[in-house]
């Protein structure tokens, strides 16, 4: 079902709440290290300003767990928005309440304001009706543009739209359209590449796509759980011990359907995780119990690259190693570069995966689609929709 977008409604003089994804990476001094997510939100905000709406922006940042955490305030985001929009974007001290309402009701046409981190309220992640209503009271229309949060039934991404009409912003609409049409006709061989920290986020989508996928390439912390399930020594590596049984089932399911799954057979190891870490590239069987697996090894990476070169559809989520640190970034960089070179249909997404592209300075237009969502992208692929999409108004 097609959803209404910004273009389908009249926003002039309306109070328009836009749920963005301003969950940006910050360094220790509270400076934004990558403004991609803010830049992605600009077209929707600019359009609303041009149409004379009163624009009220909301987002979460980090995991403050329902309490005010000073380092997770949205002030750096307001500063960056002011720079990009070339107008002053004030940030309010809270996101609901009488003072916020008073401020919003005095806004002029084309004014833009940013509300404080929605996760400072315990109601946000519980989709608490009272908190949702508190947000909805501030606006006449709700615009969902935070695709990366659309898989969560949280107040600011879902609940508010239970009380005021919701439509899709430009970023959101593009994601729905691109991801929705990608798999209407899959060209084979199709390869799915998974990495990142946790297996739990990816199990569903792996199971869903086993029948349509020819190759699974697994790296990152995720691979460790599979390797552990197969009886390999994984030393001090990140392993989800409570997911071992599930990992075993997925392995069986992939193999019983005659599909290929490749796991690291050589690995980059270290006993520390920082920019100065000393590393070694060793065959998996030489792993010492005190060491951590922190990236895929050279041979494994080359094997993955070879499969990518032979594929015609490639989906990727999750870094191959702890790529935030240079000593463990090679596996991820090689996959990103190989996919960029490929003429196949290439789809990738995930907060950390996209951050890695920025870090490697690889342009997004070298891929068919770069999704702003990780979990959201996978869930959308798995179920064909998301709660934050379903709640929006259907197009006429
Ligand atoms: P995305 O945000 O792209 O969806 P995830 O959040 O699932 O990706 O995973 C990214 C995280 O996984 C990164 O913080 C990275 O450091 C971590 N990671 C990758 N490989 C390993 C590993 N071998 N051991 C520990 N953590 C890892
Ligand atoms: Mg992540």
Structure confidence by residue, pLDDT tens digits, 281-322: 999 999 999 999 999 999 999 999 999 999 999 999 999 999
Strands 190-194 and 166-168: unpaired
User: For tokens 């995720």, what's the residue?
Assistant: 222
- How close is the Cα of 356 to the center of ligand 2, in Å? 11
User: For tokens 């379903």, what's the residue?
Assistant: 390
Among 37, 220, 325, 336, name the best residue to mutate to test ligand 1's pocket (greatest count of ligand atoms within 8 A of Cβ): 220
pLDDT greater than 90 at residue 201: no
pLDDT in tens, 70-100: 999 999 999 999 999 999 999 999 999 999 9
Q: State yes or no: cis peptide before 189, omega within 30 of 0.
A: yes
- How close is the Cα of 386 to the center of ligand 2, in Å? 18
- How close is the Cα of 36 to the center of ligand 2, in Å? 15
| 280-283: strand order across its sheet | 280-283, 266-270, 292-296
94: helix, strand or coil: coil
- How close is the Cα of 318 to the center of ligand 2, in Å? 7
What local confidence, expressed as pLDDT, does residue 353 receive? 94
Could you tell me if 291 and 283 are in contact, meaning their C-beta atoms sit under 8 angstroms apart? no
Closest ligand 1 atom number to CA of residue 224: 23
Residue 221 is classified by DSSP as H
Structure tokens at 294: 């922190």
User: Any idea which of 30-39, 112-121, 122-131, 137-146 has the lowest mean pLDDT?
Assistant: 30-39
CA angle, 331 then 336 then 337, to 5°: 100
In the structure, what pLDDT confidence band is assigned to residue 198 with cuts at 50, 70 and 90? confident
Instruction: Describe the chain by its helix, strand, coil percentages, rounded to 5.
Output: 40, 15, 40
pLDDT greater than 70 at residue 234: yes
What local confidence, expressed as pLDDT, does residue 382 receive? 83
pLDDT greater than 90 at residue 381: no
Among 25, 300, 301, 322, name the best residue to mutate to test ligand 1's pocket (greatest count of ligand atoms within 8 A of Cβ): 322
By percentage, how much of the chain surpasses pLDDT 70?
100
Beta bridge partners of 348: 316, 370
What local confidence, expressed as pLDDT, does residue 396 receive? 86
User: Any idea which of 22-36, 196-210, 289-303 has the lowest mean pLDDT?
Assistant: 196-210
Count CB-CB contacts under 10 A for residue 287.
20
Catalytic residues: 37, 198, 351, 375
Q: What is the pTM of this model?
A: 0.86
Closest ligand 1 atom number to CA of residue 375: 4
Ligand at shortest distance from the CA of 196: 1
Q: How far apart are CA 236 and CA 224, in angstroms?
A: 10
Nearest to 112 by CA among 81, 148, 70, 71: 81
Q: How far apart are CA 90 and CA 375, in angstroms?
A: 31
What residue spans of the chain are helical by DSSP H?
Answer: 36-50, 75-85, 98-105, 123-126, 129-136, 170-182, 203-209, 220-229, 244-256, 298-310, 330-341, 351-360, 375-383, 387-390
**Protein residue closest via CA to atom 15 of ligand 1:** 322
What local confidence, expressed as pLDDT, does residue 1 receive? 67
For range 323-349, the mean pLDDT: 97
336: helix, strand or coil: helix
In the structure, what pLDDT confidence band is assigned to residue 18 with cuts at 50, 70 and 90? very high
**Which H or E run contains 230?**
none
Half-sphere exposure in the Cβ direction for 11 (13 Å, CA): 33
Q: What is the mean pLDDT of the chain?
A: 95
Among 195, 356, 380, name the best residue to mutate to test ligand 1's pocket (greatest count of ligand atoms within 8 A of Cβ): 195
Closest ligand 1 atom number to CA of residue 356: 3
Cβ neighbours of residue 149 closer than 8 Å, sequence gap 6 or more: 19, 21, 23, 60, 156, 157, 376, 388
Cβ neighbours of residue 252 closer than 8 Å, sequence gap 6 or more: none
Pocket of ligand 1 (CB under 6 A): 195-197, 201, 220-221, 238, 293-294, 317-319, 321-322, 324, 350-353, 374
Count CB-CB contacts under 10 A for residue 306.
12
Decide which of 125 and 1 is more confident: 125
**C-alpha pair distances (Å), 22 with each of 73, 75, 219, 301:** 11, 11, 28, 33
Count CB-CB contacts under 10 A for residue 182.
16
Beta bridge partners of 269: 280, 293
Nearest to 356 by CA among 381, 380, 321, 314: 321
Ligand at shortest distance from the CA of 273: 1
What local confidence, expressed as pLDDT, does residue 114 receive? 98
- How close is the Cα of 97 to the center of ligand 1, in Å? 37
Q: How many residues does the chain have?
A: 396
For range 156-185, the mean pLDDT: 93
In the structure, what pLDDT confidence band is assigned to residue 208 with cuts at 50, 70 and 90? confident
Torsion region of 261: left, alpha or beta (phi above 0 gives left; psi -120 to 50 gives alpha): beta
């Amino acid at each position: 079902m097609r959803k209404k977008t910004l273009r389908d409604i009249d926003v002039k003089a309306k109070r328009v709440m836009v749920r963005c994804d301003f969950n940006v990476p910050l360094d220790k001094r509270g400076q934004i290290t990558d403004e991609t997510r803010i830049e992605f939100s600009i077209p929707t905000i600019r359009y609303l300003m041009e149409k004379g709406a009163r624009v009220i922006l909301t987002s979460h940042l980090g995991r403050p767990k329902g309490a005010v955490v000073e380092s997770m305030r949205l002030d750096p985001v307001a500063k960056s928005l002011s720079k990009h929009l070339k107008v002053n974007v004030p940030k309010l001290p809270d996101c609901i309440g009488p003072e916020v309402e008073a401020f919003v009701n005095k806004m002029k046409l084309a004014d833009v304001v940013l509300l404080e981190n929605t996760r400072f309220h315990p109601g946000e992640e519980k989709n608490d009706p009272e908190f949702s209503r508190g947000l909805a009271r501030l606006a006449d229309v709700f615009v969902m543009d935070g695709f990366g949060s659309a898989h969560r039934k949280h107040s600011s991404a879902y609940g508010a739209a239970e009380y005021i009409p919701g439509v899709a912003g430009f970023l959101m609409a593009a994601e729905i359209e691109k991801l929705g049409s990608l798999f209407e006709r899959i060209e084979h061989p199709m390869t799915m590449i998974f990495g990142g920290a946790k297996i739990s986020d990816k199990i569903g989508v792996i199971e869903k796509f086993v029948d349509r996928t020819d190759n699974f390439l697994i790296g990152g912390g995720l691979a460790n759980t599979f390797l552990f399930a197969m009886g390999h020594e994984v030393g001090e590596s990140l392993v989800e011990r409570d997911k071992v049984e599930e990992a075993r089932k997925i392995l069986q399911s992939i193999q019983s359907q005659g599909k290929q799954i490749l796991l690291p057979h050589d690995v980059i190891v270290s006993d520390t995780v920082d920019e100065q870490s000393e590393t070694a590239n060793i065959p998996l069987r030489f792993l010492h119990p005190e060491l951590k697996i922190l990236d895929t090894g050279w041979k494994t990476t080359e094997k993955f690259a070879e499969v990518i070169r032979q594929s015609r559809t490639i989906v990727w989520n999750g870094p191959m190693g702890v790529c935030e640190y240079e000593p463990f970034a090679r596996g991820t960089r090689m996959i990103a570069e190989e996919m960029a070179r490929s003429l196949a249909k290439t789809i990738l997404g995930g907060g950390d995966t996209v951050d890695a592209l920025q870090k490697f300075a690889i342009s997004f237009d070298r891929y068919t689609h770069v999704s702003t969502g990780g979990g959201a992208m996978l869930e959308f692929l798995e179920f064909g929709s998301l709660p934050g999409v379903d709640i929006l108004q259907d197009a006429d």
